[in-house]
Amino acid sequence: MKTKTKILSLLLALTLLLSLPVLTSCQIGGNDNADLEETLKSYVDEKVRQGGDTNNYDINISSDSSSSLLAASKGLLSTVSVYCNFIIKRSYGWGPNASTYEQQTQSAGSGIVYKLDKANGNAYIVTNYHVVYNAQANTANHISDEINLYLYGKESSAYAIPATYIGGSMLYDIAVLKVENNDIIRSSNVRAADFADSNDVSVLDTAIVIGNPEAKGISATVGHVNVQSEYIQMTAADDSTTIEMRVMRIDAAVNSGNSGGGLYNDEGNLIGIVNAKMSSSSIDNIGYAIPSNIAKYVADNILYYCDGKDNENVYRCLLGITVEAASSDTVYDTETGKIHIVERVAVKEITSGSPAASALKAGDVIRSITVGDKTYEVTRIYHIVDIMLNARVGDTVTIAITRGGTDETVSLTITDSALTKYN
């Protein structure tokens, strides 16, 4: 018998109707953080006794049995709970007697600290777009105009941290929030997340989910990466648009409110942003996370195009090429013991008049792309689209290719015509 399955993203942003009891189909798990909290408290207390600075420190993760515990402790300091207030319009009655009224709702999700300036009380937070968006909100962009953040251990109204929306993308399900001149940030032990290269993630790597499930406070669950990269279709935040996203599949428990929270490896470094789960009566613990590279590239894009500017959208540069996998191999890394898929990415078609038209030819195999002072290896088809999130108009992009059996490099310049809004 076939069982229907559904991928839910909005499920993960727990919506609370303030005028009604909270009803949810999600089972609340009993995550006990006493050990995590005690480990972290002991570490900080020791730093205080030693006269150390508890606001800027590294947590060294060992390879012993406590590594997951310490990795989670590191992640807890980079996690925030996100609460968004919305005013939505409701209607009742029919015909000429129909009336409308306003109702306040609140969504609860999670976020991670992306950039931090503790001395000035400033921070940038990455979360899911669907956490801060409500299609029925009375704001022009349907984004909450009242967003508050809470740090681990400071999850009460006295420690609310106001944040503002900078920009985001419904299609990437990423949004960036900004905190300025906040005393709670200054005096806390918050730390910016350490981003891992999600291209290095492999099947059965440790996956630690840290977030605000069921709006009960920040907690952690542990599992593994099941699929390093796959595409899923899901309904976007507007409840009508169907989007296709590239994600990692995990088996760590994911519940309402985990949206926007971090997915960490066994070193406490960020490998993804949790954003969806599979819903089915016959399926347990299939969750999804946006790879950390995509989250980082999109966040940087938002800061460049949106922060301090009259714009809230992501802009992606397109080379103007269609690519294909000329070959695909499974490679075993003897040093790490990990298995990776490696593709030979070849140019299939080139759009006339595009930046690539003067530099690339059909059949070229793309080995790497250099944007600015950073070179990105291209070993999967999707790498090219990801990399180009980092290119800006006017940039010179250098591409290492193999053409007719000969290795060479070509360069091209990103023009205005290559810039595409990616809402």
Question: What pLDDT sits at residue 13?
Answer: 55
What is the spatial distance between Cα 283 and Cα 42, in angstroms, rounded to a whole number?
Answer: 39
- pTM (2 decimals)? 0.85
Question: What pLDDT sits at residue 98?
Answer: 77
Question: What pLDDT sits at residue 41?
Answer: 42
Question: What pLDDT sits at residue 14?
Answer: 56
- Closest Cα partner for 239 from 99, 111, 328, 136? 136
- Closest Cα partner for 401 from 324, 346, 326, 341? 346
What is the chain's mean pLDDT, rounded?
85
Kindly give, in sequence order, each residue whose CB lies less than 8 Å from that of residue 334, ignoring residues fewer than 6 positions away: none
What is the spatial distance between Cα 130 and Cα 10, in angstroms, rounded to a whole number?
Answer: 6
Residue 68 has pLDDT above 90, yes or no: no
Residue 7 has pLDDT above 70, yes or no: no
Question: What pLDDT sits at residue 81?
Answer: 97
Lowest mean pLDDT among 47-51, 81-85, 284-288: 47-51
Residue 5 has pLDDT above 50, yes or no: no
Residue indicated by tokens 């949206």: 259
What is the spatial distance between Cα 262 and Cα 273, in angstroms, rounded to a whole number?
Answer: 5
pLDDT tier for residue 138 given thresholds of 50, 70 and 90: very high
Structural domains in the chain plus CATH codes: 198-296 (2.40.10.10), 315-421 (2.30.42.10)
Question: What pLDDT sits at residue 354?
Answer: 93
Residue 53 has pLDDT above 50, yes or no: no
Which of 72-101 are b and which e, b meaning 16 or more Cβ less than 10 Å from the residue's Cβ? bbbbbbbbbbbbbbbbbeeeeeeeeeeeee
